[in-house]
Amino acid sequence: MSFDDAYQALTDHDDDARWAYGTGFADPLAGVPTTLPEGVDGADLAAYCLMIADDALILSHRLQQWVTRAPELEDEMAIANIALDLLGQARLLLTRAGEAEGAGRDEDDLAYLREAADFRHVRLAEVRDDDFGHLIARLLVFATWRLALLDRLSASRDPVLSAIAAKGVKEVTYHREYAAGWTVRLGDGTPLSRQRMQAGLDAVWPLIDELFEPHPIEQRLTGVAVDPASLRPEFDAVLAQVLAAATLDAPAPGSATRDAPASGSATRDAPVSGTATHEEAALGKTPGRDGRHGGELAEILSEMQGLARATPGGVW
Amino acid sequence: MSEQVFEATIAKDQRIEPRDWMPEGYRKTMIRQIAQHAHSEIIGMQPEGAWITRAPSLRRKAILLAKVQDEAGHGLYLYSAAETLGADRGDLTRRLIEGRQKYSSIFNYPTLTFADVGVIGWLVDGAAICNQVPLCRSSFGPYARAMIRICKEESFHQRQGYELLMTMMRGTPAQREMVQDAVNRWWWPSLMMFGPPDAESPNTAQSMAWKIKRHTNDELRQRFVDMSVPQAGALGVTLPDGDLRWNAEREHYDFGEIDWSELKRVISGDGPMNRERIAHRRRADEQGAWVREAAAAHAAKRQGVPA
């Protein structure tokens, strides 16, 4: 290759190799009709899209915070890749939410201009992760749940949701595999890694039940939304298999909420005193889906939305 | 005999491959050059990575995340290329965080606004491309092949950076000021990326003879200036150099004197962000140690040998 040929090669812009690890730049919605399916309430569909968009958007944000902090370069790339996949899912779902709502809001209006109480993600997505064990525990739970969800959602009556879900299945299959691989390595690694992996599981365990609690909107959207309760058997079976391979125990039901150490656990904003039952009852069974979030969401939103809100009229 | 084969291979403009005989000086020089390049990719993730969570639109967030991920990938190929010469990735990382090996000084400047993300793409990646395209013809095969892929991706990053700046220049007056301010801060450090002037570049002659390096620092710097001036014009920004003008006789742009004392200061560790960059990398390495140990212990158990 001559000197000038090398410069020439740089101007060949039709080569996808220029993206080392970016994924899916073809439009997954090409040719998919965007009109609402018959008998579907636009407001309900918009609210449902926001739920599963926000799950992806907020967890992607947490993963973005790991960039430049991963334990090894391969993990740097994997974590960024997962964050990018989830961001991509969030963008498509937010766009669909905007279409279904019909008020002219686009993905950026929905991501940058909503208040905390208007976010609809499960609390699992937002909690801070203090070490790699916690990151992996959360990702294992999240990806196992979301893969089961997207798999069923790919049969949704809404053609757009169905197409987004079908694309997501391929991505989240890898996310689950990545998290499961590390769960096994850490669980069956050194005594320290085992302890940290177990602590990560203890921290996320109290947030699992919420994932399977049906919300009235999901119940109304028959054939469009997925009933989360139906995902539990697959989730439990996968978790049992991974934990067995990792020689780890599932935390006892309900135990972790009060026994987990206060520092670095998912229970930072959760009740730990004797009034727990009362406060838990006040949160309801679907706190995230109802917009009841912890103080950690305020931190995420101030970081994510700060610049966009500080430059009104700005174009990016 | 081996030396003759090596010299003949270089003379014929063919590639030296990892198992070929090579002079120790060549091997050491290549390891140092590739490692410094790998370190630059990894440290270079930090200034832009800091804006991923704060990117002001989801499209820009996705572009930036993909770009920073590409840089991790470049670091990975390059460390692998160094390993073909007998180096070890963990050892090279230790040399970096102990300050025994360098990385590009450009990453010791802070990224103050989101316009910096665009200007890094346009000017810093642009300068990197000028430096790196000739390396696609490096005499060491694995490095040359890695550089072809890296240059293609860098060129894509450069166009994305320029496109961000174009978009911001169509925005509010505050956004246009932000772009001009970022250009003012990054222009001179970008020119310094080509290294000291030829007269003071001690390794150039040997590297040119070994065809590790194909053009002198000053030649590449001139190429970059000539490329960038019309791009600045199209963008509508002013480059912060009162002496910048077309020289019809030379058919190149003349430009002002570079503050070499600043480059020396930053290279010697006294730039605005040197300590933070290394401290951040060291923290990530230390905090990840238990994870790497666990992976090694698990792999050893699987193979039935002690870790």
Q: What is the pLDDT along chain A (316 residues), one digit of tens a residue?
A: 333 444 444 444 444 444 434 444 567 788 888 889 999 999 999 999 999 999 999 999 999 999 999 999 999 999 999 999 999 999 999 999 999 999 999 999 999 999 999 999 999 999 999 899 999 999 999 999 999 999 999 999 999 999 999 999 999 999 999 999 999 999 999 999 999 999 999 999 999 999 999 999 999 999 999 999 999 999 999 999 999 999 999 998 755 444 444 444 444 444 334 444 566 667 789 999 999 998 999 999 999 999 999 998 999 9
Q: HSE-up of A207 (CA within 13 Å, CB side)?
A: 32
User: Do B153 and A90 lie within an 8 Å CB cutoff?
Assistant: no
Question: Mean per-residue pLDDT for B143-169?
Answer: 94
Residue B242 has what pLDDT?
97
Chain B CB within 8 Å of residue A296 CB: no
Residue A245 belongs to a domain: yes
Beta strands in B114-272 (DSSP E): 245-247, 252-254
* Nearest beta carbon to residue A190 from set B69, B89, B294: B294
> Which residue in B191, B167, B189 sits closest to B178, CA to CA?
B167
Q: Tens digits of per-residue pLDDT, B120-149? A: 999 999 999 999 998 898 999 999 999 999
Instruction: Give the closest-approach CA distance of B257 to chain A in angstroms.
Output: 28
Supply the CATH number for residue A301's domain. 1.20.1260.10
Q: Which residues of B touch A171 (CB under 8 A)?
A: none
Structural domain contains residue A283: yes
Whether A61 sits inside 8 A of B133 (CB atoms) is no
DSSP characters over chain B: -HHHHHHHHHHTTPPB-TTS---HHHHHHHHHHHHHHHHHHHHTHHHHHTTTTT-SSHHHHHHHHHHHHHHHHHHHHHHHHHHTTT--HHHHHHHHHTTSS---GGGGS---STHHHHHIIIIIHHHHHHHHGGGGG-SBHHHHHHHHHHHHHHHHHHHHHHHHHHHHHTS-HHHHHHHHHHHHHHHHHHHHTT-S-GGG-TTHHHHHHTTS--S-HHHHHHHHHHHHHHHHHHHT---S-TT-EEETTTTEEE-----HHHHHHIIIIISTTHHHHHHHHHHHHHHTHHHHHHHHHHHHHHHTS--
Residue A301 lies in a domain: yes
Query: Is A3 in contact with B214 (Cβ distance < 8 A)?
Result: yes
Q: Which residues of B touch A196 (CB under 8 A)?
A: 290
Q: Does B214 touch chain A (CB under 8 A)?
A: yes
Interface of A with B in 176-215 (CB under 8 A): 184-186, 188-190, 192-193, 196
Question: Which residue among B151, B287, B294 sits closest to A185, beta carbon to beta carbon?
Answer: B294
Query: Does the pLDDT of residue B186 top 90, yes or no?
Result: yes
How many structural domains is chain A composed of? 1
pTM: 0.92
Q: What's the rounded Cα separation, in Å, for the pair A42 and A100?
A: 5
Report yes or no on A121 lying in a domain.
yes
Instruction: For chain B, positions 224-283, list CB contacts with chain A under 8 A.
Output: 280, 283
The region of weakest confidence among A129-138, B57-66, B202-211 is B202-211
A8 lies in a domain? no
Does the structure show a pLDDT above 80 at B71?
yes
Nearest to B30 by CA among B87, B74, B71, B73: B87
B60 inside 8 A of chain A by CB: yes
What is the residue range of A193's domain?
A: 40-310
Each residue of B75-110: pLDDT tens digit?
A: 999 999 999 999 999 999 999 999 999 999 999 999
Q: What band does B213 get if pLDDT is binned at 50, 70 and 90?
A: confident
The reply to whether residue A111 touches residue B58, judged by beta carbons under 8 angstroms, is yes
- Kindly list the residues from chain A whose CB atom is less than 8 angstroms away from the CB atom of residue B74: 20
For A91, nearest residue in chain B (alpha carbons): B58
C-alpha distances out from residue A5 to A19, B134, B143, Å: 21, 10, 17
Cα B145 to chain center, whole Å? 16
B284–A contact, CB cutoff 8 A: yes
Side chain identity at A98, as an amino acid letter? G
* pLDDT bracket for residue B212 (50, 70, 90): confident
Which residues of chain A are within 8 Å of residue B292 when distances are taken between CB atoms? 71-72
The shortest CB-CB distance from A21 to any of B70, B152, B164 is to: B70
| pLDDT recorded at residue B17 | 96
CB contact under 8 A, A73 and B68: no
Q: Is residue A24 part of a domain?
A: no
* In chain B, residues 95-114 whose CB comes closer than 8 Å to chain A: 114
C-alpha torsion angle, residues A158, A163, A167, A169 (rounded to 10): 40
Q: Which residues of A, range 68-107, sit inside 8 Å of B by Cβ? A: 68-77, 80-81, 83-84, 87-88, 90-91, 94, 107
Query: Which member of A6, A20, A75 has the closest CB to residue B73?
Result: A20
In a domain, A34, yes or no: no
Residue B188 CA to residue B258 CA, distance in Å, equals 7
Give the best residue of B51, B60, B61, B112 to mutate against chain A (max A CB count within 10 A). Answer: B61
Is residue A168 assigned to a domain? yes
CA distance B156 to B159: 5
Chain A residues with beta carbon closer than 8 angstroms to that of B133: 3, 6-7, 10
Nearest to B56 among A13, A184, A311 (CB): A311
pLDDT tens, position by position, B102-120: 999 999 999 999 999 999 9
Residues 128-167 of A with CB under 8 A from B: 131-132
Please name the member of B52, B137, B297 whose beta carbon is closest to the beta carbon of A67: B52
**To the nearest whole angstrom, how far is the Cα of A307 from the nearest Cα of chain B?**
6
Mean pLDDT score, B20-27: 96
Testing the interface with B: which of A68, A128, A307 to mutate, by most B Cβ within 10 A?
Answer: A68
